[in-house]
Structure 1
Amino acid sequence: MKKHLQGRLTVEPKLVNPAASDNAKRLMAYLCSIYGKRTLTGQQYGVVSTPEMDVIFRETGKYPAVGGFDFMNDSPSRVERGAVPTDTPLAIEWWKRGGIVTFCWHWNPPKDLIDEEPDNGWHRGFYTTATTFDIAKAMNDESSEDYILLMRDIDAIAVNLGRLQDEGIPVLWRPLHEASGGWFWWGAQGPEPCVKLWITMYERLTNLHGLNNLVWVWNGQHKDWYPGDEYVDIIGEDIYPPERTYVSNVDRFRQALDYTAANKIIALSENGPLPDPDKMVGDGAPWAWNCTWYGDFVCLRDADGEWVVGEQYTEREMLLKFYGHPLTVTLDELPDLTVYPLPDKT
């Protein structure tokens, strides 16, 4: 075993929410059981068109184990401008096919959108450049309109998470992602207000809304932004190497290990090119799952208008290798997570 991994791959299947649902506990138990041994294949659905899953299946004969979804168009400031939410029913369908569900949230701020085309239109409102919304100001005054609107938005997403809970679906929940990069408004004012918002969101969704189906995946990507072990189940890293660069990303895996002394599962929660599974093994970067982003990272339309594998980022040969490798787990290999053994209570 690589020196940096010694003792770090044994993770207790215990969630930070003591009232976690049985299916959430089952999912965590399964993830802990394979961590360091297998990596779940994953793919993000496209927000508008979603051909990626079928393109991958036609090419490899396999579907990914993890489906990635986004509450982007459930943001109230997008809905009021005509955006149509799509991903909650897609996620329910994916779970019923036997897949694992992960959600992020490209959260359009509730107000103060610049709304200037082409680069800062309302549809790009989650970017720092497209809004003047001040997270620090909002989080410093819980009586302010800005704070109240943030809570309204969280409550709107809670409705959808509740629909998933009603279906028995555990969710790998990854809000406020890539915060330390500063390109999203929730990371634009430094770590303190973002950490405060994370903790507030955790407490509101867990204690007010009773959402016990969430496995909390933190994706701040810098130690200073870590909200604490009691608010994080899993750590995620989003990594986009150059085109056709199939590195293991072991440096980022090691970085994630250093966020906390506690043993936490670490996932490649977004990626561009696929990592070479042989390099993952050789370098000691046993990501729990990957989730390739959509669009050009996977597919394109050919001259006849049909969706086919695009090789700009990951060549066909590497796609086949990744989905056929002994390290990786595809949809057909997943256990039935509605009956998977619950972790021992001892």
Structure 2
Amino acid sequence: MAGDTRRSRRAAATFALAVSLVATGAFHMLLVTTDLDGAFADTRDDVTATEDPGDTAAVSTPGALPVNPPPTTADATPSAPTTPSEPARTCRPRTPPVDPEADASAVCLAETLDRWLADGVTAVGQQVNISSDSWDEPLWRLEPQRPAVVGFDLDELVAAARRGTDWTEDLALMAADGVVLTASWHAPNPFSGGDSFDRTGADRLEALLEEDSAPARRFEAEWAAVLDVLARLQEQGAAVLVRPLHEAGGSWFWWGRPDPSTYRALFADLQQQAADAGVHNLLWSYGAAVRTWEGVDEPLSLLPDRVDLVGLDTYDCETPHPDCGGRDADDLARDEVDLTGYAELVAAAPRAALTEVGPAHSPDGSWDPSVITRTLAREGLPAAYALLWFDDSFGRKQVSSLQGGKAWLESCPDALCPVGAAG
């Protein structure tokens, strides 16, 4: 999107926020500050989230066996209502966040995901390339519709910030408008300085658990930079569902195919570092690669000890490619969603989603995204959301580029598609 257009959209969102403040009696906040982010954060404080100690059922789908112990203090201290006649809103997720100090925005995000699952709907999600100045192109191409979930990568958000571009205000405004934010992290290689696909050091990940090792220091520094941008979102009242070290069962990322205990320890270290930095606007997600061949480990073997949501990354090849194995022409011509191992993930955590889904190596965008919701409905499996990727060198993937994408989105009221798998 052009800069002027983006600024006009931001101005429109700002105006909508001001109108909302007037309607709720909170406009006085804007009279005492000229900083929108500060006013926005103050207003979000009026939307508090507390947990009823008697309402801590950990099952969000039939037969779910949560692996997360209930936190001891998921409550956020209620703030004063904006007017004497307006009590502060209370969010009560079915299962509290695994962070015992989760802030109001994170608790309310958990409630949103639980509500979608309880209602038997799957939210349409769209990943964006947040490092690009035209990162929101996959979104505005869908107007007047919009996805209910927007995904981005934390390494890209940090890269943009290092160039002097801060997109957190734009993301926070979307969150204030009801969009759920979720973020992966294609972490740079701490052994070589290469990108996430550089496999250097994959056989010695335990070095990242040694405080005095150079790779461990680099890994910690990169995550600290991520936490800085997440803290900016926290200041603006926006929660994020984070998915670090995803698809670890495969061998394409430097953290892939690790020793399970090492992987769990690394995941726990990321959580502890976030807590130490005072970043508590996060829900934690584990994204597994679909196990379609022997080169991918069993997803449950790497399941971290404490996660708020589990997910499956699954793509459907459309044309012959080495990534697609030996699939024949008939298989490639059939639009499908491989859910191998997903039922087991669903049963192992309080929430589940298709954390990445869609076509791969599709030159013409003929893949029909409605197969996502049809497959979930047929299998009777829940998914809080289904996130499609943006177009890249591997083909057309985003909702707006798929021939049936807009029609599918329009068929889902508020981008929430009924699948009939209510919990």
Residue in 2 that maps onto 1:126: 196
1:16 pairs with 2:88:
no
Secondary structure at 1:39 match in 2? strand
Which residue among 402, 408, 421 is the counterpart of 1:322?
A: 408
Query: Aligned residue for 1:236?
Result: 311
1:171 maps to 2:253: no
Going from structure 1 to structure 2, the CA distance change for 1:141 and 1:9 (only over 3 Å counts) comes to closer
**CA deviation profile, 1:77-116 (whole Å, cap 9, x unmatched):** x689x86766534422422443111111111123414xxx
| Amino acid paired to 1:284 | G
Shift of 1:321: 4.2
Structure of greater Rg? 2
Aligned to 1:64: 147
Determine helix, strand or coil for the equivalent of 1:281: helix
- For residue 99 of structure 1, what is the aligned residue in structure 2? 179
CA 1:269 to 1:179, structure 2 compared with 1: closer, same or farther past 3 Å?
A: same
CA distance in 2, matches of 1:73, 1:320: 27
Give matches, 1:269-284, under 5 Å. Answer: 269-273=355-359, 274-276=369-371, 277-284=373-380
Tell me which of 97, 111, 114 is aligned to 1:29. 111
Give the structure 2 partner of residue 40 of structure 1. Answer: 123
Q: Equivalent residues in 2 for 1:202-217 (5 A)?
A: 202-206=271-275, 208-217=276-285
| C-alpha distance in structure 1 between counterparts of 2:139 and 2:65, whole Å | 30
How far off its partner does 1:236 sit? 1.3
Q: TM-score, normalised by structure 1?
A: 0.74
Contact 2:128–2:151 (CA under 8 A) maintained in structure 1: yes
On the 8 A contact 2:127/2:388 being kept in 1, the answer is yes
Higher relative contact order by CA 8 Å / sep ≥ 6: 1 or 2?
1
Amino acid at match of 2:307: V
The alignment's C-alpha RMSD in Å is: 3.0
Alignment of 1:119-198 (within 5 A): 122=194, 125-129=195-199, 131-132=200-201, 135-198=204-267
Q: In structure 2, do the counterparts of structure 1 residues 272 and 135 end up closer, same or farther at CA, with 3 Å as the change threshold?
A: farther
Listed one character per residue, the Cα deviations across residues 273-312 of structure 1 (whole Å, up to 9, x for unaligned) are 435223322221221101100014346xxxxxxxx943xx
2:294 maps to 1:219: no
Deviation at 1:192, TM superposition (A): 2.9
Aligned amino acid, residue 123 of structure 2: L
Q: 1:298 to 1:145 in 2, by over 3 A?
A: closer
Q: CA deviation at 1:137?
A: 4.2
| CA distance, structure 2, for counterparts of residue 83 and residue 187 of structure 1 | 29
- Tell me the residue number matched to 2:336: 247
Shift in Å at residue 225 of structure 1? Answer: 0.5
C-alpha spacing 1:7/1:324, structure 2 compared with 1 (3 Å): farther
Query: 2-side partners of 1:9 and 1:246: how far apart?
Result: 31
Distance in 1, matches of 2:263 and 2:115, equals: 32
Residue 169 of structure 1: SS of its match in structure 2? coil
Q: 1:171 touches 1:213 (CA, 8 Å); kept in 2?
A: yes
Partners of 1:322 and 1:9 in 2: CA distance: 32
Tell me how far apart the structure 2 counterparts of residues 215 and 309 of structure 1 sit (CA, whole Å): 28
Q: Which runs of 5+ in 2 are unaligned?
A: 1-60, 67-92, 290-298, 319-332, 360-368, 417-423
Distance change in 2, residues 1:39/1:25 (3 Å): same
Residue 214 of structure 1: CA displacement?
A: 0.3
- The Cα shift of 1:42 comes to 0.5
Matched, 1:264 2:350: yes
* Conserved? CA contact 1:249–1:275, under 8 Å: no
* Structure 2 residue corresponding to 1:297, chosen from 377, 396, 399: 396
Does the CA-based 8 Å contact 1:42-1:292 persist in structure 2?
A: yes
Worse-superposed segment, 97-106 or 276-285? 276-285
Corresponding position of 2:18: none
Aligned length: 290
CA distance in 2, matches of 1:137, 1:251: 29
Return closer, same or farther for 1:9/1:180 CA change in 2, 3 Å cut-off: closer
SS at 1:211 equivalent: coil
CA distance in 1, matches of 2:164, 2:286: 27
Structure 1's 167 and 140: CA in aligned 2 closer, same or farther, altered over 3 A?
Answer: closer
Cα deviation, residue 31, structure 1 = 1.4
Match of 2:382? 286
Whole-angstrom CA distance in 2 between matches of 1:175 and 1:87: 20
Deviates more, 1:238-247 or 1:178-187: 238-247
Residues 247 and 275 in structure 1, CA contact (< 8 A), matched pair in contact too: no
Inter-partner Cα distance in structure 1 for 2:215 and 2:169: 30
Seen in structure 2, the aligned counterparts of structure 1 residues 32 and 322 have a Cα distance that, compared at 3 Å, is same
Counterparts in 2 of 1:140 and 1:161: CA distance versus 1, 3 Å: closer
1:272 Cα deviation from its structure 2 partner: 1.8
User: Do the aligned partners of residues 240 and 86 (structure 1) sit closer, same or farther apart at CA in structure 2, a change above 3 Å counting?
Assistant: farther
